[in-house]
């Protein structure tokens, strides 16, 4: 496919913005990712890795320094004590492209992901899940490591047997994720976990981790190195192809049965003649990430589902030429968030957004 064809992928992200991508994007889109010369050293994301290492040191883990590398997404390959970081965080222009087409992580979120992945790496570095010395207590505290891993899971909202760190009650996904989330909460400076989780079932897990860190803090991990799955040097796809594949994955979520016209007119019943009237699609785009973050956090639904739904609503609001009243922004935002939450929960429980 020609470059012009690939550009339509990105133009869909600017649903009602006639502005073209900046020239730097044109230069990057056609280039294979492996040829961009991306490295963690000296990149904008390096300082976050250094912060992670300082936090580990402050917690007494003086010998644990998981290696980090640039990859296609956040991750810690199963059994490998290393951390993969999305490549776009190492390049300012790519980060801007990610921000415009998807949802770029801010500094707080980057550290949340790093602490979580460090929890996985800690398990694998010290073989907590499969050594005769540690596996028994690990299994007793968090559950069997070999439990089947499912991307789609049904959490028990508001359960106090698990910590809350990443959105979507993520600790409930699998025992390995439960440990990683517990580790992240324990590691986070000023998380005040002893007070916040007092009386919770999750406190037993936090105290176990605290004891474990004291025992292992000055010990060399049995596994200091790991094997990466995908690095930037392996990524032969172009930048455009990478984002096209991501978009294709999101398009698999069916929203064709959704007909939000009446609902959107009720949410944005603002006359175009009002001086305070602003395009509704611009308002939705401005608050898109915040809505997606909060709906994902409290519903446990998969982010691609929520993103696709928000894109559909934003696009339709523009096609209907609806308006918001800037003096009622808080009301509009509350109603949109409640509306998206209701649709998402209907989809999660019934498999469809609209029920007959």
Does residue 43 sit within a domain?
yes
- Is the pLDDT at 234 greater than 80? The verdict is yes
180 and 320 share a domain? no
CA-closest candidate to residue 324, choices 291, 276, 285, 263: 276
Which of 185, 216, 247 is where one domain is finished?
A: 216
Residue pLDDT, tens place only, 286-320: 999 899 999 988 988 888 888 888 888 998 899 99
87 and 198 share a domain? yes
Q: What pLDDT, on a 0 to 100 scale, did the predictor assign at position 249?
A: 53
CA distance 119 to 34: 28
CA distance 120 to 67: 12
55 and 188 share a domain? yes
- What's the rounded mean pLDDT across residues 158-181? 95
Residue pLDDT, tens place only, 175-214: 999 999 999 999 999 999 999 999 999 999 999 999 999 9
DSSP collapsed to 3 states, the chain:
CCHHHHHHHHHCCCCCCCCCCCHHHHHHHCCEHHHCCCCCCCCCCHHHHHHHHHHHHHCCCCCCCCEEEEECCCECCCCCCEEEEEHHHHCHHHHHHHHHHCCCCCHHHHHHHHHHHHHHHHHHHCCCCCCCCCHHHHHHHHCCCCCCCCCCCCCCCCCCCCCCCCCCCHHHCCHHHHHHHHHHHHHCCCCCHHHHCCCCCHHHHHHHHHHHHHHHCCCCCCCCCCCCCCCHHHCCCEHHHHHHHHHHHHHCCCCCCCCCHHHHHHHCECCCCCCCEEEHHHHHHHCHHHHHHHHHHHHCCCHHHHHHHHHHHHHHHHHCCCEEEHHHHHHHHHHHHHHHHHHHHHHHHHCCCCCC
206 and 260 share a domain? no
Q: What pLDDT, on a 0 to 100 scale, did the predictor assign at position 17?
A: 43
Distance from the Cα of residue 281 to its chain's centroid: 24
CA distance 291 to 340: 8
- Is the pLDDT at 4 greater than 60? The verdict is no
How many CB atoms are located within 10 Å of the residue 25 CB? 19
Residue pLDDT, tens place only, 246-258: 665 554 555 555 6
44 and 98 share a domain? yes
Q: What are the CA-CA distances from residue 280 to residues 26, 121, 200, 283, 338 (Å)?
A: 29, 44, 42, 5, 16
Which of 166, 201, 216 is where one domain is finished?
A: 216
Quick check: pTM over 0.85? no
260 and 174 share a domain? no
162 and 294 share a domain? no
Cβ atoms of 224 and 125 closer than 8 Å: yes
- Is the pLDDT at 352 greater than 50? The verdict is yes
Distance from the Cα of residue 306 to its chain's centroid: 12
150 and 293 share a domain? no
Residue pLDDT, tens place only, 99-114: 877 788 999 999 999 9
Residue pLDDT, tens place only, 62-116: 999 999 999 999 999 989 999 999 999 999 999 988 887 778 899 999 999 999 9
How many CB atoms are located within 10 Å of the residue 218 CB? 10
Does residue 245 sit within a domain?
no
Does residue 110 sit within a domain?
yes
Q: What are the CA-CA distances from residue 97 to residues 24, 82, 220, 284, 302 (Å)?
A: 10, 26, 40, 19, 22
Q: What average pLDDT is seen over the chain?
A: 87
58 and 159 share a domain? yes
201 and 268 share a domain? no
What is the count of structural domains for the chain? 2
Does residue 14 sit within a domain?
no
- Is the pLDDT at 272 greater than 90? The verdict is no
- What's the rounded mean pLDDT across residues 155-169? 93
262 and 212 share a domain? no
Residue pLDDT, tens place only, 6-61: 444 444 444 334 345 454 667 888 899 999 999 999 999 999 999 999 999 999 99
Does residue 278 sit within a domain?
yes
Q: What pLDDT, on a 0 to 100 scale, did the predictor assign at position 120?
A: 97
Does residue 2 sit within a domain?
no
Which of 160, 186, 216 is where one domain is finished?
A: 216
- Is the pLDDT at 164 greater than 80? The verdict is yes
CA distance 289 to 248: 20
Indicate the range of 48-57, 154-163, 170-179, 258-267 predicted with least confidence. Answer: 258-267
Does residue 77 sit within a domain?
yes
Q: Which domain holds residue 337?
A: 255-350
Does residue 10 sit within a domain?
no
Q: In which band, very low, low, confident or very high, does the pLDDT at 261 lie, cut at 50, 70 and 90? A: confident
147 and 268 share a domain? no
356 compared with 236, residue with greater pLDDT: 236
Percent of the residues in the chain that have a pLDDT greater than 90, as a whole number: 63
């Amino acid at each position: 496919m020609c470059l012009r064809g690939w550009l339509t992928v990105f133009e869909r992200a600017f649903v009602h913005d006639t502005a073209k991508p900046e020239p730097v994007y044109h230069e990057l889109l056609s280039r294979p990712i492996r040829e961009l010369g991306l490295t963690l050293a000296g990149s904008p994301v390096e300082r976050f890795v250094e912060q992670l290492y300082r936090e580990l040191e402050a917690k007494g883990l003086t010998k644990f320094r998981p290696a980090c590398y640039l990859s296609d997404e956040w991750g810690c390959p199963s059994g490998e004590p290393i951390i993969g970081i999305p490549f776009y965080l190492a390049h300012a222009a790519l980060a801007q492209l990610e921000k415009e087409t998807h949802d770029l992580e801010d500094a707080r979120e980057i550290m949340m992901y790093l602490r979580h992945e460090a929890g996985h790496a800690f398990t694998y570095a010290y073989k907590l899940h499969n050594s005769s010395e540690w596996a028994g207590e690990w299994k007793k505290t968090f559950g069997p490591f070999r439990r089947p891993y499912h991307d789609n899971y049904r959490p028990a909202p508001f359960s106090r047997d698990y910590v809350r760190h990443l959105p979507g009650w993520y600790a409930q996904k699998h025992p390995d994720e439960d440990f990683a989330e517990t580790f992240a909460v324990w590691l986070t400076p000023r998380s005040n976990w002893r007070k916040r989780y007092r009386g919770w079932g999750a406190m037993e897990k936090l105290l176990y981790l605290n004891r474990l860190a004291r025992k292992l803090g000055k010990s060399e991990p049995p596994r200091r190195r790991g094997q990466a799955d995908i690095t930037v040097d392996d990524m032969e796809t172009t930048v455009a192809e990478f984002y096209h594949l991501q978009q294709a994955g999101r398009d698999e979520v069916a929203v064709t049965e959704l007909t939000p016209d009446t609902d959107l007119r009720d949410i944005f019943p603002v006359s175009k003649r009002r001086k305070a009237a602003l395009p509704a699609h611009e308002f939705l785009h401005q608050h898109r990430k915040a809505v997606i973050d909060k709906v994902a956090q409290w519903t446990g639904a998969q982010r691609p589902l929520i993103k696709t739904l928000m894109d559909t609503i934003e696009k339709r609001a523009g096609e209907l030429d609806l308006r918001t009243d800037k003096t009622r922004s808080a009301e509009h935002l509350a109603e949109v968030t409640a509306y998206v939450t209701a649709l998402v929960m209907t989809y999660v429980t019934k498999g469809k957004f609209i029920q007959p």
